[in-house]
Amino acid sequence: MESPLDSYLRALHADIASLTGGTPYSAGPGTPDPDPSQFGICLATADGYVYQVGDTASEFSIQSISKPFTYGLALADLGMDAVDEKVDVEPSGDPFNEVSLTKSSGRPPNAMVNAGALAATGLIKGSGGKSAIKRIVRTYSEFAGRHLTIDKHAVDAEIKISDRNHAFAYLLSSYGIIEGDPTAVLKNYLRQCSVQVTCRDLSIMAATLANGGTNPVTGVQAMDIGPVERVLSVMMTSGMYDDAGSWVASVGMPAKSGVGGGIIAVLPGEVGLAVYSPPLDHHGNSVRGVAVSERLSHDMEMHFVRSARPGRSAIRASYDITHAPSGIRRTDEGAALLLEFGNRAQVIELTGDLIFAGTESMVREVSGLDSSVEFVVLDVRRVDDVGAVALTMFQRLAASLADEHRELLLIDGEGSLADALNNSGHAVPTFRTRTAAVEHCEDRLLAIHGAGLNLPATVSVAASPALSPMDPADIAELAKLMERRRYDDGEIVRRVGQRFGGIFFIVSGQILTLTTGPDGKRIRLSTLSAGMTFGELALGSEDRQETTEKADGPVELMVLEADNLAKLEDENPRLATELWKALTRDAYTRVDQYLRETAVRIRD
C-alpha cells in the first residue's frame, strides 16, 4: 500500500512542475548550464524516514545553503560571544550580495548574506591535522550522512566571477572582521559553495537540524543544540534574504536557499524539507522550491504557529496501586490493609518529550494529587527526551514532597533520568520495573499503617495459604514427602531451562523471580515470600523452567520433588488431585493480580 504522503508528494510535484518561470544560475562560460526541468522534493522526518519524488539523486552545488552550516561550525568552535563580535544576527532586508555593513565596526548584519558568510568562513581554522576547508566539508558530510566532495571545476568558474565577493573580503579585512589573508578566505568560501549535494542530502541535513543536531539516519551528533538553536533562529529571520518577511508569513519555517536551485526548510523536532529546481526568482530563490514550501506549509500545517501544539499532556495514565498490585502474596490482614491504604501511593505514567508543555502537565498532575497521597511514583520508561526544565522540575517536586513528608519515586528502565538527578545532588529512589516500585510502596504502607499487624516471617507447610482448602491430615501426609532445603542470599534455586524439579513451598525468606530483558540484563518480575509456592508453572512450559528463582536473603524451603510427586500420583491419586486443586485455586488468585496489572499496562 502506498503511503498517502507519497501520493500527496507525487501530485504536488506534478502540479508545481507546470511552473516554468525563473532563470537558472550560471557560473559563466565553460560550465554546463543547469537543466531547468530537473525538480525534486524530499521530506526527511526527525527519526530518519525519507519521502522523495522527482530528481532527488541529481548532484548540484550547495551554494548559499552552505552558510548556516559553516556559521554553526564557527559557533561550535568559538562560542556565540566571539562570533557575535564578527557577525551580527539582524535581518538586513537587503539582497544577499548587498554591501550592508555596520558603518562603525564593519560587522555584517547576519551570516546568511554573502558578507556575513565570508566572515563566518574566515573564523574556521584548521585543527587536528585537517585544514579549515576539510573541517567544513566534514561537517557538511556529517549532516548529510555521507561523504561529500568539492567540484574543483565549479570552484575555478566561481573565482572568475567573484570580484564582488573578493571586494567584500578585503573590505571585511580592513575592519578586522577577517583576520589573515582575505583571498584565502574567499577561496574557502567558494570551495564550500561548490560542495556537491543531492536533494536527498539536503533533506537529511535539514532533518539533522530538526533533530537538534543529531543525524537521524546515522545517529552522529553533527552539532550541539546550542549552535543549532542560533542557526535556526538566524535562518528564520534572514535565510531568505530580502524575501524573509514574506517567507515567515507564508511558510513559517527556518529556511535557506542557494542559487544552485536548492531550498531547505526545518520544522524543529519534526521534519526537514528540501527542494531542488534550478530556475530562480529575482530574490535568488528557486521558483518551484518556494511554491512547494508554501503548499506544504499550508496543506500539512507545518507553519511554526500551527505545528506547535499548545499544552500537549505528557500524562499517559494515573492510578493508585490498588489497580496494579505487586506480585507478593500478602496475609489476609495485609491484603485488607493495602486495599484500605493503597490509594496513598499513586503511579503516574509519562510519555513523549518532557520539554515545557509536557513538564507543565506532569507538574500540574502531581500538584493536584490529594494531600493523603504519601508516595508519588513517576513512570518515565516511555519518555523520549527530558529537557533542562523537566530536570529542574523533578528536583523541585522531590524537595516539595519531602517537605510534606511525602516521597517521590521513579520507574526508569534505562536509569538515565535517575543518573541525572543523582549527579545534580537530588537522588530519587529508582526502580527498573513497576512491580518493584509498587512492592516498595506496599511495604512502606504496611510499615506505616500496619502498627501491630502480625506479618509472619515463617509459614509452615501446614499453614501455607496455597494448601488452606485441604484437610489438615492430607497436608500432614504431603509434608512427609517433602525435603527441607536452605539457601543463602544470592543463591540460585532454579535456573531458566531446567526441567520440572517439583513444587517449592517458601517457609521463610524471599525468592526473586527474574527474567532477561531485551538488553540482556536481568529484570525482576516478582517477589515471593513466606507461604507462597513456585516451580509448578514449569509443567505448563514443556517441563522447562521459564524464569530464574533467586534467594533474596536467607531462605528456607520445603520441596515436593518431581519424583515424589510422580510417586504420589501413582500411589495416592486422590491426595494428588486435592493438591493440584488447591494449587490451581492459589494460581488463580495470583493470575487475578497479574491481570489487574496487565489491564493497567495496556490501557491507552
Instruction: Name the one residue in this structure whose C-alpha cell is 550560471.
Output: 26
> How far apart (Å, rounded) are the C-alpha atoms in residues 44 and 162?
34
Ligand-binding annotation for 588, yes or no, is no
What is d(CA 96, CA 212) in angstroms, rounded to the nearest whole number?
Answer: 27
pLDDT at residue 550 above 90?
yes
- Measured at the alpha carbon of residue 69, what is the angle toward residues 114 and 10, in degrees to the nearest 5? 100
Q: Which of 102-111, 180-189, 457-466, 481-490 has the lowest mean pLDDT?
A: 102-111
Q: 492: which strand partners?
A: 550
Closest CA to 200 of 303, 48, 317: 48
Query: Strands (DSSP E) along 341-425, which ranges?
Result: 345-354, 375-386, 407-411
Spatial contact of 85 and 65, defined as CB atoms under 8 Å apart: no
CA 223 to chain centre: 17
Instruction: Tell whether residue 556 is among the known ligand binding residues.
Output: no
Start-to-end CA span in the chain (Å): 27
Does residue 191 contact residue 155 with C-beta atoms inside 8 Å?
A: yes
Question: What's the distance, CA 176 to chain centroid?
Answer: 44
3-state secondary structure of 310: coil
User: Could you tell me which residue, 598 or 171, shows the higher pLDDT?
Assistant: 171
For residues 440 and 376, what is the distance between their CA atoms, to the nearest angstrom?
A: 12
**What is the rounded distance in angstroms from the CA atom of residue 203 to the CA atom of residue 194?**
18
pLDDT band at 593 (very low <50, low <70, confident <90, very high): low
Residue whose cell numbers read 558568510: 117
Listed in sequence order, the residues at least 6 apart from 140 whose beta carbon sits closer than 8 Å to its beta carbon are 62, 66, 69, 148, 192, 195, 197, 205
Rg, C-alpha atoms of the chain: 34
Judge whether 71 is annotated as a binding position: no
Q: Indicate if the pLDDT at residue 33 is higher than 50.
A: yes
Tell me which long-range contacts 125-131 makes (C-beta under 8 A, separation of at least 24). 125/77, 127/77
34-44 mean pLDDT: 95
Assigned architecture for domain 4-300: 3-Layer(aba) Sandwich (3.40)
**Cell numbers found for residue 408:** 517521590
Mean pLDDT across 520-546: 75
Reported in sequence order, the residue ranges of 187-313 that DSSP labels E, i.e. its strands, are: 196-197, 255-257, 262-267, 271-276
Instruction: Evaluate if residue 31 carries a pLDDT over 80.
Output: no
The arithmetic mean of pLDDT across residues 459-487, rounded, is 92
The residue-averaged pLDDT of 528-538 equals 80
Fold of 461-602: Jelly Rolls (2.60.120)
Q: Provide the b/e sequence for 367-404 (b: ≥16 CB within 10 Å).
A: eeeeeebbbbbbbbbebeebeeebbebbbebbeebeee
Which grid cell is 587? Answer: 494460581
Pick the more confident residue, 536 or 490.
490
d(CA 581, CA 464): 14
In angstroms, rounded to a whole number, what is the distance separating the alpha carbons of residues 316 and 352? 9
**Could you give the CA distance from residue 40 to residue 55 in angstroms, rounded to a whole number?**
4
Average pLDDT for residues 298-309, to the nearest whole number? Answer: 76
pLDDT over threshold 80, residue 307: no
The SS3 of residue 264 is strand
Rounded Cα–Cα distance for residues 480 and 465 (Å): 18
Alpha-carbon distances of 307 from 42, 206, 222, 233, 296, rounded to whole Å:
19, 17, 25, 17, 12
> What's the average model confidence in pLDDT over 390-416?
85
* φ, ψ dihedrals at 561, nearest 5°: -65, 160
What is the rounded average pLDDT of the residues 323-330? 75
| Residue entry with cell 548550464 | 33
Domain 4-300 shares a fold with domain 461-602: no
Give me the architecture of the 315-450 domain, per CATH: 2-Layer Sandwich (3.30)
Q: Does position 602 have pLDDT exceeding 60, yes or no?
A: no
129 grid coordinates: 591535522
Whole-angstrom Cα distance, residue 216 to residue 455?
Answer: 54
Instruction: Read off the pLDDT of residues 239-282 as tens digits, 9 standing for 90 and up.
Output: 987 788 889 999 999 999 999 999 999 999 889 999 999 999 98
Q: What contacts 469, CB < 8 A, 6 or more positions away?
A: 581, 582, 585
Of the candidates 523, 511, 588, the one whose C-alpha atom is nearest the C-alpha of residue 555 is 511
Distance CA 259, CA 281 (A): 10
The helix/strand/coil state of 344 is helix
H or E element at residue 103: none
179 annotated as ligand-binding: no
∠ Cα 26 28 32 (to 5°): 65
Q: 364-401: per-residue pLDDT in tens?
A: 788 889 999 999 999 999 888 887 778 888 888 888 88
Average model confidence (pLDDT) for the chain?
87
What is the β-pairing status of strands 407-411 and 430-431? parallel
Return the C-alpha cell found at 402: 519531602
d(CA 75, CA 235): 14
Phi, psi dihedrals of residue 23, rounded to the nearest 5°? -130, 125
Residue 53 three-state SS: strand
Domain boundaries, the chain: 4-300, 315-450, 461-602
Alpha helices in 267-353 (DSSP H): 287-299, 304-307, 332-341
Task: Kindly give the pairing relationship between strand 502-516 and strand 522-528.
Answer: antiparallel
Q: Write the pLDDT tens digit of every residue in 345-368.
A: 999 999 887 876 677 778 878 888
189 annotated ligand-binding residue:
yes
Q: What are the CA-CA distances from residue 445 to residues 324, 453, 597 (Å)?
A: 15, 12, 19
Q: What pLDDT is attached to residue 532?
A: 83
Q: Is 114 annotated as a binding residue?
A: yes
Would you call 207 helix, strand, or coil by DSSP? helix
> Grid coordinates in use for 211?
533533530
Q: Residue holding cell 507546470?
A: 18
51 is annotated as contributing to ligand binding: no
- Rounded mean pLDDT, 433-452: 86
Contact 271, 46 (CB under 8 A): yes
